[in-house]
Structure 1
């Protein structure tokens, strides 16, 4: 059914008849949806509940084999067309005019096509995740959360705002991830075109960036956003779930993570500051320097890294390439989590059997097993609190906690005593 659906989508792009295009597109999406949900039930619904990692490194699709490379090439090609050659997607866009007119009051464009496919992917693969992780209450609620926020706040609500002739706004994205929301031109646009609602949008973006984010991260770590709300994280946790084991756990990969993500975070801070300084001087202080920097940032980071590489390389580098190496929001949240938060993953080294399940499922490249063996709490800036290490552990060694900051970096003396006794 999935193969037939993909064929129907190809026929949509190849057929010049507008009537047949609509039929092909909706038939394709229907077949892919039914096939994905049916396959998920056949694969996971009929088995006993639990994380099953058998044959992950033997299948071509999940071990960087030929199927994975073909999948990565298709995804990368789609993003290249989406960002720079949208005219080649026109026959996929036009059949969505009816849905777009009903939701947004205007014809579809390539971004509405992308939003539709993106939301559908999260819903379908979210259904797969619900079957796969149904034994874990935490994973079920977390999956339902990302499905809800993507569908309601990142797809339906922005469309309704346009329908009522208000500025399109995504309430689940804010600076520094949605960097434009605090750029002077964007702020002025919201204030001029949104009236009272525009004022609230600007207030919401600023409040979420500088007040709510530190407070929520202090209590819950970066998981409140990266694993429960963010659309990028939502796609990674659902559509990217089959590839989480591909995340590189080496120290060299960690070094590249630090070399990339924090300079990117610093760059967007500098660009935002330059734009506001220039704006306050009547655009005469720096000329076009800030605008040029913002355009290059949008091209290299906002499009090439977050889109083409961030999703296109799922089958090769794992499902959190963007979140791990490029997302400025992840860098911001990570700094708060490591130095300011109550969140940690506690470990009980006395019960660890060194099976490696926890490290295998960590999408952020953390070698969790090394912490678990020593009974040390895991406090890493990169950890998104997905909880998969705890879910996959057969011994209950790992627990996600929002504990007091006192003794946060120290393991339990009892745990260390047990570990030493077993070792001796």
Structure 2
């Protein structure tokens, strides 16, 4: 006996399927082009296959994302987060994690293996920077495209929320403008490469004496401005902005690491470890890393002042150690490569010295908090599930307590997924900042009186 399945909107489903098929087809051709550029550069021009592959991959990704996100209503955007293999630590997630981790290993320690892809970037590098392409330009291009393409994904996913639309556009703007185009323009004008959206302690070497002298000698007046910019942003603007807005002004609106986490990493935000033991590891790791970079910076300046007589090679060893273990392994290999397994904020949560610095300011000297209306909480757990920093938001909401945590990046997703409007991001006065909202207890009610 033949069985038929009736679809409620067959034409719409057919159009959606056709669009997805077209997008996936272009993605397949794009990946093929990148593979040929990487391994077949001796036979076929890598510029043609590489740039063609990137173009096909980008267009196909945008088509697929558009079809996938627009066919779901605003209320159903997180459907399948715990059931699809790609977002629930399934086989696809492990494959993606291995590919990302392997790419970072090749990028840092075996860059010659990426020569085909690097050569594919040559026309773009010459046009933007007037410089030959290298593995870091290749990485910057991939990184920026990931933020832009997956930024469209975030815009469609959170299209009913003005805050998230503006926040996503902000990280896309800063990554494209301040972290990709502006540094390239500086090189094109024979000026030192400088990233104005990064500063100490995240860009830890920007206040090192060697970097300062290099900028002054090669950038002259512009180099002095770069040093001034980095110092002012690190020690003056950061405390002031954090006082008024919390660490979200940087971690969720400006930072390139946070930008990648909020766009390319958004499908994995629910994978963050919510256990208390994870919070203990967080505290035990991130603050010593901040202390290490502070000590390293001080030692380098002391050694520079003494012309190397006091510490010799010790301060340089500190710098090299930090660059290898934290700058490369932690922020790159683990921080991004482990997105599909450990969530999208592994680096921000456990390793970023800037997050530690901002977190201390936010917890003790800021006006920012997330207030809760505990009387409206139905304990659904959406807020805790989608907190990328592993905070048990529901526990605070159930007790009506404000969320004032050093780790909170103010992304606002917890408030977005709450079905009852229990959570609210506020920059109110510090007076009463820690006060809980009043809860009506059962013993307070006397219906017979």
Whether TM exceeds 0.5 here: the answer is yes
Q: 1:367 is matched with which residue: 379, 384, 392?
A: 392
- What is the rounded CA distance, in whole Å, between the counterparts of 1:420 and 1:165 in structure 2? 74
User: By how many angstroms is 1:420 displaced?
Assistant: 7.5
- What is the rounded CA distance, in whole Å, between the counterparts of 2:266 and 2:415 in structure 1? 16
- CA deviation string 1:58-82 (max 9, x = no partner): 1111111111111100000000000
1:391 aligns to what?
Answer: 416
2:440 aligns to what?
Answer: 417
Structure 1 stretch displaced more, 38-47 or 80-89: 38-47
1:104 aligns to what?
Answer: 129
Structure 1 stretch displaced more, 108-117 or 390-399: 390-399
1:309 aligns with 2:334: yes
- What is the rounded CA distance, in whole Å, between the counterparts of 1:418 and 1:93 in structure 2? 65
User: By how many angstroms is 1:52 displaced?
Assistant: 2.9
Aligned to 2:75, the other structure's residue is in SS state coil
Q: 1:364 to 1:420 in 2, by over 3 A?
A: farther
1:3 aligns to what?
Answer: 28
- What is the rounded CA distance, in whole Å, between the counterparts of 2:239 and 2:97 in structure 1? 36
Q: Is the 8 A contact 2:286 2:351 kept in 1?
A: yes
Aligned to 1:409, the other structure's residue is in SS state coil
1:146 aligns to what?
Answer: 171
2:67 aligns to what?
Answer: 42
User: By how many angstroms is 1:40 displaced?
Assistant: 1.4
Return 5+ residue gaps in structure 1 as ranges. Answer: none
Q: 1:333 is matched with which residue: 358, 364, 367?
A: 358
Structure 1 vs Structure 2 CA RMSD: 1.4
Aligned to 1:131, the other structure's residue is in SS state helix
2:299 aligns to what?
Answer: 274
- CA deviation string 1:58-113 (max 9, x = no partner): 11111111111111000000000000000000000011111111111111000000
Q: 1:405 is matched with which residue: 426, 430, 434?
A: 430
Q: 1:410 to 1:116 in 2, by over 3 A?
A: same
- What is the rounded CA distance, in whole Å, between the counterparts of 1:213 and 1:128 in structure 2? 30
Aligned to 1:417, the other structure's residue is in SS state coil
Return 5+ residue gaps in structure 2 as ranges. Answer: 1-25
Q: Is the 8 A contact 1:349 1:419 kept in 2?
A: no
1:71 aligns to what?
Answer: 96
Q: 1:121 to 1:43 in 2, by over 3 A?
A: same
1:12 aligns to what?
Answer: 37
1:353 aligns with 2:378: yes
Q: Is the 8 A contact 1:145 1:228 kept in 2?
A: yes
Q: 1:236 to 1:419 in 2, by over 3 A?
A: farther
User: By how many angstroms is 1:23 displaced?
Assistant: 1.6
1:253 aligns to what?
Answer: 278
Q: Is the 8 A contact 1:51 1:133 kept in 2?
A: no
Matched residue pairs, number? 421
Matches within 5 A, 1:72-151: 72-151=97-176
- CA deviation string 1:359-389 (max 9, x = no partner): 1110000011111111110000000000000
Q: 1:421 to 1:149 in 2, by over 3 A?
A: farther
Q: 1:104 to 1:389 in 2, by over 3 A?
A: same
